[in-house]
Chain A
Amino acid sequence: MTDAGVAAPSLGGRTTHAHGARDRRVWLAVAVLVVVLPHAPGLTTDFGRSLLTQMGIAIVFALSYNVLFGETGLLSFGHAVYFGLGGYAAIHCMRAINHGLPLPMPFVPLAGAAGGLVCGLAFGALTTRRAGTIFALISLGVGELVYAATFLLPGLFGGEEGITASRTRALALPGLDLGSQLQVYYVVAAWALVSAAAMRAFTRTPVGRLCNAVRDNPERVQFVGYDPQRIRFIAFAVAGLFAGVAGGLHALNYEIVAADAVGAQRSGSVLVMAYMGGTGSFAGPVVGAIVLTWLETSLSAYTSAWLLYVGLIFIAIILFAPAGLWGIVAMHAPILHTRALRRVLARYAVALLPGAIMVAGAAALIEMSYRLSTQRELGSVVKLGPLALDASTPVPWIAGAAMLVGGLVLLRISARFVAVAWQAATLEARGGGAP
């Protein structure tokens, strides 16, 4: 209230200052969370802290991807190239440190940044001449090219085995020898925070704003004095730099960088992360990186069909929530203070039941099919939670199909009730907005 009151004379001032203050609070909260997280119940194990570390790396990578995709409108199918080459630069730097280079290990991601930036500048000069489909196809080609090159130059890339180094054989900073996963986590988290803040700041500069303009309408950009190709090039270099940081963090965490670091699967997964979380906001790719990393590690512990589930979730988001997971959350901001919100939430809860039935039915069908088609040697009985389903008998199949179809029908009906509640909330938000 006071913020708005003080700066009321200038609309521009108000928006900027209010955003600035809120931004600072958000960053502070995130920083505190990042410090506390590895001590939270359930995350104090090496597994938990390793998961958090992987999430930190994925966040930097996904944010760097969104500089291209969400901010500048460049759909890349080969962003892992800059992650991987940054990673190779970092692992070679680590080897040099192992052999006596007097550089503290936590600064290794800077070598990744340099590698990513140099490759971003070199490949970007070629690929950003065109936008749209042609850019996407060239990025795919460059990705394949670099992947193949890692096998052609074994001295530099080590082929499939990759290059290894040690993160502990170095001159250690006092209290920071990277001997534990917790220390690695904190180094990764610090770099992730710095990188995220830097990318956020970049989007707020004149060039960063023009990136959005190029995304929206590259032709018009030419008629306000800017060369859209140059803007794309700068965005590409920045994205390369931070992908390189992520690659450097990867090298530090795993002490190995191999061909898969530049591969198409990693390029695909960063696209999925950004899209899953939502490319229209800064928080979106962060959410996507966290969720996908979590799915990859936790889901794969339960089922070997985990990639299929990830694919299904991805398709569902593309079809039903193109603004991504964070887009769904952000959608509720306008109705957050309405009284009708309670009813919306209640109806969500009601819709949850048919949703769960549908998912359970689908999971039963998928698991049984997967077992029969790929893992016949494990027998026909599939364990699904407390249930043991025998895929050789018709009953589980019929039950699964009935749950899938019945859940879907009920979900569609309850969706109608959700929509009605939504409409009421929206009306209240509009009408009740002005006191």
Chain B
Amino acid sequence: MNAGSPPALELVEVHKRFGATPIVRGVSLAVAPGERHALIGPNGAGKSTLFNVISGRFAPTQGSIRLHGREIAGARAYEINRLGLSRSFQVTNIFPRLSVFENVRCSVLWSLGHRYDWRHPVDRLPDVRERTERTLEQIRMTSRRDAPAGVLTYAEQRALEIGITIASGADVILLDEPTAGMSRSEADNAVELVRTVSQDRTLLIVEHDMSVVFGLADRISVLVYGRIVATDTPQRIRANADVQTAYLGVTAHA
């Protein structure tokens, strides 16, 4: 059945250079619809750059990126978002003076077709309110809905970051280190959240915490110095000798 349908996200020989410095050096990757795919690798391997290239923050220097078979390489970030790919950021990237509710609502508007609507009061759009409230429940922020996002705790801001990312209903989501900087219990909550919100969606996640990665991902790709050195199931990645020497090292034996 699935043989005919293209991957949700497919990268073919993607390169990204900044000036003369190659950061991403020929990445090919296919993520199937509904798959949870983790991207791991040492600092400076190019994970965040790869995310930026996929999501349209930068255009790739060369190569092809396809979303459900449709070429998106070099498209603008907002065009890619409208096609159903949404991303979060490693460094929290929210609207600090807007309320939690409004932060999420900003992400809901376009996908529900309200676009550049300058005639209807946004409070009178029931579909917008309903989707926003549902997203707030999902990220368990309903009680904080009227707080300005800038005054939230770090963990709350991270949850809001995920809320903004999923609220549009995008079916491919990219999460950049959603548990970075969190305490153990906060991270556990965040992982539960990621698990819930990625149901029925395709997930590509960058994560440093190996226990998170091995517990969550269907498949893992290891990015080292701008290239993917292995893509496989968590068990086989754990057993892969190349990966151990290149990256996991101590962690795998611990």
Contacts and interface: CB of A to CB of B under 8 A. Distances in A.
Contacts, number: 107
A216 B116 contact: no
A227 B116 CA distance: 10
Interface residues of A, number: 33
B18 interface: no
Interface of A: 11-12, 15-16, 19-20, 201-202, 204-210, 212-213, 215-217, 219-227, 230-231, 234, 238
A225 B109 CA distance: 9
A341 B236 CA distance: 68
B59 interface: no
Interface string B83-102: 00011010001111110011
Contact of B81 (A202, A210, A224): A224
B146 A224 contact: no
B120 A205 contact: yes
14 contacts: A11-B145, A16-B123, A201-B121, A204-B121, A205-B119, A206-B114, A213-B106, A220-B93, A222-B57, A222-B81, A224-B81, A225-B81, A226-B78, A234-B118
Contacts of B55: 223
A20 B102 CA distance: 17
B182 interface: no
- For the complex of A and B, the 7 pairs showing the least CB-CB separation, nearest first, are A225-B110, A216-B95, A222-B77, A224-B107, A207-B118, A206-B117, A225-B81
B133 A234 contact: no
Contacts of B89: 220
Nearest to A237: B118
B95 A223 contact: no
Contact of A221 (B86, B96, B106, B116): B106
Given A220-B164, A230-B116, A225 B93 contact: no
A12 B93 contact: no
A222 B121 contact: no
Given A223-B86, A226-B78, A212 B97 contact: yes
B130 to A, nearest CB: 9
A321 B81 CA distance: 40
Given A201-B121, A206-B114, A216 B98 contact: yes
A207 B125 CA distance: 13
Given A206-B116, A209-B122, A223-B86, A217 B110 contact: no
